[in-house]
Structure 1
Amino acid sequence: MGIKLLILLGLLIGVLYGLHILAQDYQAITAPKLLRLLFKRDLSTITNYKATVRWRKILQYDAIQCARLLYCDLGAHLPDNEFRRGFTYMLAVDTKKEDKAALEEFKTAYFHGRALHDNPELCSEEYPTCPFKAALLFDLLHYLLHRKL
């Protein structure tokens, strides 16, 4: 029993870390250009800066498929707020070569959700290993993005 609990806790920490990376990349993509200038030491590099999403790293920590469940749910629902639109937009951002295969995993999840538009609960059947509901994952992302430290 103890070993199973430790394995489960390790997987859940991986889910939280993957969501943390997703939230960081969301902030990097949606941050106003002025904020990007404020935290740069060398302003000459700002013209070459392109925010990317680290899909391969997110997929690496998504062993129980919670991030894919999140993107399936994004596809299943209309992007009714800026938060959902931002995460959907991340699928269209140019990626590095090493992230392209992982991006396809998330696009597949998104388009699977689009096919389930009438019945979004079926995303949980497609990704049954995630113990969370998509609404909780969105709440966690919202918390990560809007908490005050």
Structure 2
Amino acid sequence: MYRLIILLVLLVGVLYSLHLLVQDYQALTAAPKLLRFLFKRDLRSSQHLRGSVRWRRILQHDPIQCARYLYCDLGARPPNNSVGRGFVYMLTLKPHDEDLQSLEYFQMAYHRGQLGGIFGCKEYYPMCPFDAQLLFRLIQYLIDKQ
């Protein structure tokens, strides 16, 4: 019984970290921001529209490393859709100071995927009980529902 409760708590953590990733992805791809940027006359004001990702917070809520496993898989298999490409793009954004160290964990996961392939990802992140494709389906579900 205790194992089931622990597994459920870990699952909630995984879902919450994916939820944070989706929220940050949607904030970056929101059409109103893009339209405001396109119609601005002052180029310096476009710097204020650049989004950021809450890497530290995502890492805090990723105890079984599923978000890092997701990025490792993105490195191993180049994304074939806009959501995957958007998640890779999120790695290139300039983070806030408090997120810098956490971003490095996700960048390292991505590079490990590029070097080690899909099977290497499971070796680096064995704690995640989910398949990367399931994680992507959960992300797509969260995007569609918001």
1:111 paired residue number: 111
* Structure 2: gaps spanning 5 or more residues: 37-44
Alpha carbons of 1:6 and 1:34: their partners in 2 closer, same or farther (altered >3 Å)? same
Within 1, Cα distance between the matches of 2:49 and 2:80?
Answer: 29
Question: 2:113 is paired with a residue of what secondary structure?
Answer: helix
Alpha carbons of 1:10 and 1:82: their partners in 2 closer, same or farther (altered >3 Å)? same
Within 2, Cα distance between the matches of 1:22 and 1:78?
Answer: 18
Question: 2:25 is paired with a residue of what secondary structure?
Answer: helix
Percent identity reads 52
Question: 1:92 is paired with a residue of what secondary structure?
Answer: coil
Task: State yes or no: 1:54 paired with 2:33.
Answer: no
Question: 2:91 is paired with a residue of what secondary structure?
Answer: helix
Aligned residue type for 1:3: Y
Q: How does 1:1-149 map to 2 (within 5 A)?
A: 2-34=1-33, 48-117=48-117, 120-147=118-145
- 1:50-79 Cα distance to aligned partner (Å, 9 max, x none): 311000000001000000000000000122
Question: 2:142 is paired with a residue of what secondary structure?
Answer: helix
2:42 paired residue number: none
Within 1, Cα distance between the matches of 2:33 and 2:96?
Answer: 24
- 1:74-124 Cα distance to aligned partner (Å, 9 max, x none): 00012222111100000001110000000000000000000024xx12211
Aligned residue type for 2:6: I
Aligned residue type for 1:112: R
Normalization by structure 1: what TM-score? 0.85
Within 1, Cα distance between the matches of 2:17 and 2:137?
Answer: 14
* Structure 1: gaps spanning 5 or more residues: 38-45
Aligned CA-pair RMSD: 1.7
Within 1, Cα distance between the matches of 2:66 and 2:92?
Answer: 20
